[in-house]
Amino acid sequence: MIRGWKWRLRSVSGVGLTLCGLLLGAQVVEAQEPVEQPRQRFEFAAGTWISTGDTRWAHNASSMAGLGNPTSKLTYKDVGTNVIELTGKVWIAPKWFGRLNGGYAGIGGGRLTDDDYGSNGGQRLFSHTNSDLSGDNMWYLNADSGFRVAEYPNHRGWLEIFGGYQFWHTTYQATGLTQVSCDPNAIPGFTCALAPGQSSNQGQTVLTNTTNWHSIRVGASTEYRLTRRLSVLSTLALIPASVLDNKDVHHLRGDLKQDPSFSMVGYGVGADADVGARFMITQNLAANVGYRVYYNRMLSGDLTVHPVVGSSESFPLTQFESLRHGFTASLSLIF
């Protein structure tokens, strides 16, 4: 009898070990071999882009006596925004899709630095001023269409290519004026607005800048599943052609028109990049985190001055760049 019980215990133990082995094996397979997901038809995402950025431009009016090259350099820096973003993606056919993405944010602060240069005795800094950026807003719209070109083995992910249009708008409002430094000898006959260290027009809008980029973009996106729930994603879009439209209104300049004071047009290139991770909370709900960069750069352009008296004059625009980058987070509904 004792011998029989021992045999039964061995049998039960063997069965238990076998079941444990099967369960562990199943868990490993589940972790290593993502099961096939139903093909999605629609994805909607809502999230945020916590970003910072800057805009830089310069022009060359050294054809006028006494002015340097560059003549002026303006930098809108440390401009923080908390973007609210929505994205919709619809599958038109099993491999073709359309996607619409847009975001909006108020400007959360920053600083405008304005440097002017003269040529008396060589390139010399004539005036350096600072203003606070108290507003106003930024928004963008991406309209793309694409095609799924590959699906990875064992249903681990996919690769897509796309092309489309991007509109990127920014408006800055600078308030107050602080004269940091001034060298009146750099441009004979010119004087600075204030003595070094002095401030004026605090809380008053002294300059409004509006930048629009119209861009064509082409790129690729991919997702690779590490487990059934966790995956990594990335997108790279190149901008081979972009049109710049920029306008400045200098509210304290009585010698310049106010609609606008300066206008700029140009052509350039750029790139957009996203990297991140996705965690499937349920079969139809995902949490996404990542990092994003937008960058546009002018290759050729002109600046036009609009005086109150006399005709407008144009000069080469030697630099214009827009950069924005920061962390992203969103929730996606996938059907």
Domain shared by 20 and 81, yes or no: no
Domain shared by 59 and 148, yes or no: yes
pLDDT one-digit tens code per residue, 183-198 = 999 999 898 889 999 9
Domain shared by 2 and 106, yes or no: no
Domain shared by 202 and 323, yes or no: yes
CATH code of the domain in which 301 resides: 2.40.128.90
pLDDT band at 36 (very low <50, low <70, confident <90, very high): low
269 within 8 A of 217, measured Cβ to Cβ: no
| Whole-number Å distance between alpha carbons of 28 and 26 | 5
Domain shared by 23 and 112, yes or no: no
pLDDT over 70 (residue 331): yes
Q: In this predicted structure, what is the pLDDT of residue 135?
A: 78
Average pLDDT over residues 232-251: 98
Domain shared by 28 and 45, yes or no: no
Q: In this predicted structure, what is the pLDDT of residue 283?
A: 92
Q: Which of the two residues, 55 and 18, has the higher pLDDT score? A: 55
Written as six digits, the tokens of 180 are: 């940091």
| Whole-number Å distance between alpha carbons of 323 and 55 | 6
Among 36, 190, 208, 35, smallest CA distance to 112 is for 208
Domain shared by 118 and 2, yes or no: no
pLDDT over 70 (residue 27): no
Domain shared by 163 and 220, yes or no: yes
pTM of model > 0.75: yes
pLDDT one-digit tens code per residue, 258-305 = 999 999 999 999 999 999 999 999 999 999 999 999 999 999 999 999
Give residue 115's domain range: 41-334
Domain shared by 242 and 311, yes or no: yes
Domain shared by 114 and 258, yes or no: yes
pLDDT over 90 (residue 15): no
pLDDT band at 2 (very low <50, low <70, confident <90, very high): very low
Number of domains observed in the structure of the chain: 2
Query: How many percent of the chain have pLDDT more than 90?
Result: 84
Domain shared by 6 and 85, yes or no: no
- Average pLDDT along the chain: 90
pLDDT one-digit tens code per residue, 130-170 = 999 987 899 999 999 999 999 999 999 999 999 999 999 99
Domain shared by 16 and 73, yes or no: no
